[in-house]
């Protein structure tokens, strides 16, 4: 795995955007809702995330942003493997569990999981799940950006997708 990079502000940087202005603007950017899971020597963990996107298809790579103060941080980094489970509209309650202060056991007890090839929990009825190995990392502000090489894809349900837009869940059908 590549070492963690820190990106400094340019010398001629403009005044920073106000945090609230940025958050309000980002609320207008709809995003898929995902549950990121991990398991291994550093423990089992999972969290809800919308900060996930494709980087490239060759090699297949996803980018995930994780707050360095999150309770799951050490497990994710320590295990070095994750599974991105893309949620269907029926998973709204599950997303709330994984996005809150619920115990790890209660989070995983609320759905059906199978163990992936990497050892990560794969949500049985996800729209699609991507098993990944963390291949590079960079610290930016409060977060660590994880570049994750996709090693396995589990194509699942064709149900409506769950997205987050204007601070609320929305459903999108195909």
Please provide the DSSP assignment of 3-64 as one string.
PEEEPPPPTTPPPPPPHHHHHHHHTTS-EE-EEEEE-STT--EEEEES-EEEEEETTEEEEE
Dump pLDDT digits (tens) for 23-66: 888 888 889 999 999 999 999 999 999 999 999 999 999 999 99
- In percent, how much of the chain has pLDDT > 90? 82
Query: Which of 143, 155, 159, 152 lies closest to 50 in space, CA to CA?
Result: 143
Domain map of the chain by residue range?
A: 20-165
List residues bridging with 128 in a β-sheet. 86, 155
The CATH class of the 20-165 domain is mainly beta
> Residue 119: phi, psi to the nearest 5?
95, -5
Kindly tell me the sign of the dihedral angle through the C-alpha atoms of 26, 97, 141, 78.
negative
pTM for the full predicted model:
0.90
Is 2's pLDDT higher than 80?
no
Dump pLDDT digits (tens) for 101-154: 999 999 999 999 999 999 999 999 999 999 999 999 999 999 999 999 999 999
């Amino acid at each position: 795995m590549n070492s963690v990079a820190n990106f400094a502000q340019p010398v001629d940087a403009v005044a920073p955007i106000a945090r609230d202005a940025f958050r309000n603007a980002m609320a207008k950017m709809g995003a898929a809702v995902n549950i990121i899971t991990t398991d291994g020597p550093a423990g089992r963990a999972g969290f809800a995330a919308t900060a996930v996107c494709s980087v490239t298809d060759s090699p297949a790579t996803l980018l995930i942003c994780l707050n360095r103060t999150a309770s799951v941080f050490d497990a994710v980094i320590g295990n070095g493997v994750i599974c991105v489970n893309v949620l269907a509209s029926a998973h709204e309650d599950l997303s709330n569990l994984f996005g809150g202060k619920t115990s790890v056991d209660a989070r995983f007890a609320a759905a059906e999981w199978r163990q992936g090839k990497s050892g990560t929990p794969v949500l049985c009825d996800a729209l699609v799940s991507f098993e990944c190995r963390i291949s590079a990392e960079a610290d930016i502000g409060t977060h660590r950006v994880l570049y994750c090489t996709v090693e396995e894809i589990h194509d699942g349900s064709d149900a409506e997708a769950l997205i987050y837009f204007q601070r609320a869940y929305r459903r999108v059908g195909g």
